[in-house]
Amino acid sequence: MDRFGKNEFRQLLEVEEKPAISIYMPIERQEMTNKALRLQFRAHVDEVARRLEEAESLSPSSYQHLLARLREMVEERTFWDRSGDGVAVFLSPSFEGVYFLPLPFENKAVVGTHFHTRPLLDHIAVPSDYWVLAVGEKEVSFWEGSPTGVEQVELDDLPKSLQEALMLEQGKDQDGLNYQTGSNYTFGGSSTDSGGSRGLPSPVYHGHGGGREEHDAYLLRYFSEVSKGIREYLAGAEGPVILAAVDYCHPIFKQASKLKNLADDGIEGNVHFWNDKQIYEAAWPIARRQINQRIEDALETWERAFGRGSAEMEPTMVGRRAVEGRVHLLLLDENSQMWGDYDRTTGAIKELRDGDDGEERALAADVYDEIAETVIQYGGDVVVIPSDKMPVESGVGAVLRGNGA
């Protein structure tokens, strides 16, 4: 499976050109062969071709090469061997992106001036993915998870042990651990190695006195390096990272880590020998609590703003506030859509009507999707709310920056 976080999402938002083609498709491996998947994708490609032909403002030369590329994907058999519960394909004259994700998308093909990101917005706004980081002194393991399971991931740049992270030679005597500096490791310590480089102190301890403090200092440095590698890999993704380690290591890792999405709760014990099913059963309840809490926090923020008069619920006003950069938090009903046109300069909305011509229908966008993208581009947050918890009937609500509307 591919990883899709805020950085990848922002790349999609930066594309503003016609035609911008978006295709979403579920993948049901147990019921569909690769041939069936290819046939289903071909139907989406045919739908895209029909919409492009209906858009009279587009010349065939502007999209024929894009259709050719989509048809190549249909025939690439190895393309369909990748794992995931759904696939999202984005194609424009200057951009191509394909993501196999643990998300069973609904079938959809959209053509417009921007990519259709609403199905992924749900995923980004309230992430349903999470990660499990198992850390021991001699081993580091990492899993990516979804509501349906977990999959172990090998990270080449991640330290695999305390010794590797600190470049230490580890020996054992009859009473405890004996650490000595490696020949190339430099750090702000007090000793020098044979080459004259400053290195870590070389404590020798025997299970008593200051040895524990010195060992904790090494763990702190080790965990900091592991946290840094995980942070670089996630690149802004916001799902919770669940720590799995022996109880003694949890507070030290939290002290060392700069992961903003480190879950409050973790898994205690050595899980390196657990299978994926055991990891999932321990981690998913923790991840689910974290996900639900973000929704509850957003609803509380809305209630406070609404009481102060610092909220909007009328779509036309929300659209205008978005392009003014005044939306701090956007609440979006998971099931609400409004198809039409959204002007990202003025914030004006033109809802699609029954009598509109073929081109307007062919290039119609989900206005709520467009507003949400604009909010994110101006530094605001978006949270997708279950319909039974959405506080307004319009399907969209904005918490404004500053005082009042």
- Work out the mean pLDDT of the chain and round it to a whole number: 83
Is CATH 1.20.81 correct for 1-127? no
Q: Which residue has the tokens 């998913």?
A: 284
Strand 241-245 relative to strand 267-268, pairing: parallel
Domain ranges within the chain, ordered by starting residue? 1-127, 130-290, 309-405
Going by pLDDT thresholds of 50, 70 and 90, the confidence category of residue 148 is: low
CA distance 198 to 191: 6
Going by pLDDT thresholds of 50, 70 and 90, the confidence category of residue 355 is: low
CA distance 206 to 225: 26
3-class secondary structure, 97: strand
3-class secondary structure, 104: coil
84 closest CA partner among 144, 132, 7, 141: 144
| DSSP string covering 217-260 | HHHHHHHHHHHHHHHHHHTT--SPEEEEE-TTHHHHHHHH---T
The answer to whether the CB of 367 falls within 8 A of the CB of 351 is: yes
pLDDT > 90? residue 142: yes
Going by pLDDT thresholds of 50, 70 and 90, the confidence category of residue 58 is: confident
Position 184 scores a pLDDT of: 37
37 closest CA partner among 4, 73, 90: 73
Q: What percent of the chain has pLDDT over 70?
A: 85
CA distance 41 to 30: 17
pLDDT > 90? residue 201: no
Which one is the CATH code of 309-405: 3.30.1330.30, 3.40.228.10, 3.30.565.10, 3.30.70.260? Answer: 3.30.1330.30
Q: What b/e sequence results for 341-353 when a residue is b if at least 16 CB atoms lie within 10 Å of its CB, and e otherwise?
A: bbebeebebeeee
Position 210 scores a pLDDT of: 54
| DSSP string covering 280-302 | HHHHHHHHHHHHHHHHHHHHHHH
- Bridge partner list, 144: 131, 151
Strand 191-192 relative to strand 198-199, pairing: antiparallel
The answer to whether the CB of 245 falls within 8 A of the CB of 135 is: yes
pLDDT > 80? residue 27: yes
Strand 311-312 relative to strand 327-333, pairing: unpaired
Radius of gyration of the chain (CA): 26
262-282 confidence digits (pLDDT tens):
999 999 999 999 999 899 999
Q: Do domains 1-127 and 309-405 have the same CATH topology?
A: no
Query: What is the distance in angstroms between the CA of the first residue and the CA of the last residue of the chain?
Result: 43
pLDDT > 50? residue 168: no
The answer to whether the CB of 98 falls within 8 A of the CB of 346 is: no
